[in-house]
Chains A and B, each alone.
Chain A
Amino acid sequence: MTAIPLNHALILSAMLFTVGLVGLLVRRNIFFMLMSIEIMLNAAGLAFIVAGTRWGQPDGQVMFLFILALAAAEVSIGLALILRLYQQFKTMDVDAAHELQG
């Protein structure tokens, strides 16, 4: 088995990050926005693993575990807020919530 070159892995994580970012900017459904954020977080996690591999350290993978834990916490709060959003506004569209303005 040949090792995967560092650059390739890094480019993959950059691409995943971009996919997530574009999804976040384009989608207006709060559900898909949260999923896009998940993709961005995991892309960052992948980049950490790549960095850890370069130095032969486990630190990158440890960081990935922390990121997983964070993503879970963030999504659980996010889903609770989505439920409340739906109760109040009867929609999943974030643009419906625009009462705050100057």
Chain B
Amino acid sequence: MTLQDLRPLLPLLVLSAAIVTVMLVIAFKRDHRLTFALTLIGLVLSLAALPLASSGLPRTVTPLVVIDGFALFYIALVLAASLVVVIFSFSYLEKVAGNREEYYLLMMLATLGAVVLVVSNHFVSFFIGLETLSISLYTLIAYTRFERQRIEAAIKYLVLAAAASSFLLFGMALAYLVYGTMQFDQMSSPSNFSAADSALLTVGLAMLMVGIGFKLALVPFHMWAPDVYQGAPAPVTAFVATVSKGGIIALMLRLFAFVPLTLGSNLWNVFALIAILSMLAGNVLAVVQSNVKRILAYSSIAHFGYLLVAFLASNALSISSMTFYLVVYIITSLIAFGVITVLSHPQKEFEELEDYRGLFRQQRRPAIFLGLALLSLASLPPTGGLVGKIFLAAAGVESSLWLLLAALVIGSVIGVFYYLRVAITIFRQPEEESAVWTAPRLTPLAEVTLVLLSLGLIILGIFPAPLINLIEAVAARLG
């Protein structure tokens, strides 16, 4: 490792320095506004370091980490999503009694974990990134104290995530046993594998998939998602839905660029089954929910099922269509959970469908933002959701995955029904007693953020070409 190697690592270094700074500042002076400001500055500086890091790429820094255009794109996505979540968290935390400062510390640590995941090229960095992310999340989920639901959600997440981690580790160990290396870019399957070795590799990759499937909440590893989405504080839910899952998708794309997943193999069939189950079960179970956070949890299960369709197609369109869809999904989720966050109170989250009745009459702007997010989730125009779904389907058509595409279409149709149910509730006449309900007002910073996100979502729906070109440029360097 030389001094030149530090330059591509700049975003990580800046973020780590910001974490240490915030930690020290908390030790000397507890101040919510100050910690919030430092966190924002840290994340913005880390984003600003991205252009500096972008010369002389791709670069492998030690065997653990690789920085290329793909990594920088995903780092930017993760950091930006985290920045938005932090902005929404401020007004929510203002109402929390007790210590609020460590929340920002944990959120930055979790972000660092996601960034390490995105750049990892080795099982060790994969594992360390994943655990930095997960362990920070256990605490974040239980953050506001003395709440029974928070503790329940955190314990469920801890037990299941730890079990998933051990599956993941065992899978890694088996893959290492067969390949003799833990570096992704040296994992190529020579044809002279013995029968025992290829059986071990299949088992190992299947166990890896259990770990990844858990993190993405794919059926049948989705049990935690609705409970954690509901039980966690609203901004943390936003973080789980966006940063955590985005980091895993980046890692999955990088890992499987080297470990081939051939069409029609046993493993491929298992993946396909998981995708179909996620698309159908996620959407069907969402219909019967009456809690908006649980609806969004089931909807996220379905959306990651859609992403798997393009993943399984593994053709030229896969990486770019998945990345585009992920960007749109992250923007949409940030808007939806952002609205929930700014309307929530730590003692009472604004989450029951009944709460939303007549929202439009009481609070125009949040209702419009949420409505737009719902349109995008349902992939209706004029939002990016439609373009993203068409792009994903195109990848599936290219590889003639008709069964998966059928599930995608059926799932989307069911989806439109329950997204529109929420949207209609917002615009209905409020009942007498709910007129008394006064949700908190938007802070100016949160409102500007919501406006920018909504504009971004519409622009992606009308002029998707610039982003698609950018993604294709960075994805071309992968693999």
Contacts and interface: CB of A to CB of B under 8 A. Distances in A.
A43 B170 contact: yes
29 contacts: A17-B166, A21-B163, A30-B155, A30-B159, A34-B162, A45-B169, A47-B173, A54-B177, A55-B180, A57-B180, A62-B124, A63-B172, A66-B127, A70-B165, A73-B135, A78-B158, A81-B142, A81-B151, A82-B155, A84-B142, A88-B148, A88-B151, A97-B148, A97-B151, A99-B148, A100-B149, A100-B153, A102-B289, A102-B290
Contacts of B153: 100
Interface stretch (B224-232, B238-246, B251-259, B391-399): B224-232
Contacts, number: 129
A100 B163 contact: no
Interface of A: 10, 13, 17, 20-21, 24, 30, 33-34, 37, 40-41, 43-45, 47-48, 50-52, 54-55, 57, 59-60, 62-63, 66-67, 70, 73-74, 77-78, 81-82, 84-85, 88-89, 94, 97-102
A48 B166 contact: no
A50 B170 CA distance: 11
Contacts of B151: 81, 84-85, 88, 97
Task: Specify which of B145, B146, B227 lies most central, judged by the most chain A CB atoms within 10 Å of its CB.
Answer: B227
* B146, B155, B227, B289 pick with most chain A CB within 10 angstroms: B155
B148 A37 contact: no
Contact of B138 (A21, A47, A50, A77): A77
Given A30-B159, A54-B177, A100-B226, 4 more contacts: A13-B170, A44-B170, A47-B169, A74-B131
Interface residues of B, number: 44
Contacts of A10: 177
Contact of B148 (A17, A57, A59, A89): A89
Contacts of B176: 48, 51-52, 59-60
Contacts of A33: 159
Interface of B: 123-124, 127-128, 131, 135, 138-139, 142, 145-146, 148-149, 151-155, 158-159, 162-163, 165-167, 169-170, 172-174, 176-177, 180, 182, 226-227, 230-231, 285, 288-291, 294
Given A51-B173, A81-B142, A37 B166 contact: yes
Given A30-B155, A63-B123, A74 B177 contact: no
A50 B163 CA distance: 21
B290 A97 contact: no
Nearest to A96: B152
A40 B149 contact: no
Contacts of A20: 166
Contacts of B138: 74, 77, 81
Contacts of B127: 63, 66, 70
Contacts of A73: 131, 135
Nearest to A89: B148
B170 A37 contact: no
Contacts of A98: 152
B155 A94 contact: yes
A48 B169 CA distance: 8
B158 A81 contact: yes
Given A74-B158, A94-B155, A37 B163 contact: yes
B149 A67 contact: no
A99 B152 contact: yes
B138 to A, nearest CB: 5
B270 to A, nearest CB: 19
Contact of A63 (B124, B146, B230): B124
A45 B127 CA distance: 13
A41 to B, nearest CB: 5
Contacts of B166: 17, 20, 37, 40-41, 43-44
Nearest to B63: A59
B145 to A, nearest CB: 8
Given A77-B139, A81-B138, A97-B148, A48 B162 contact: no
A59 B180 CA distance: 10
A51 B177 contact: yes
Contacts of B158: 74, 77-78, 81
A48 B159 contact: no
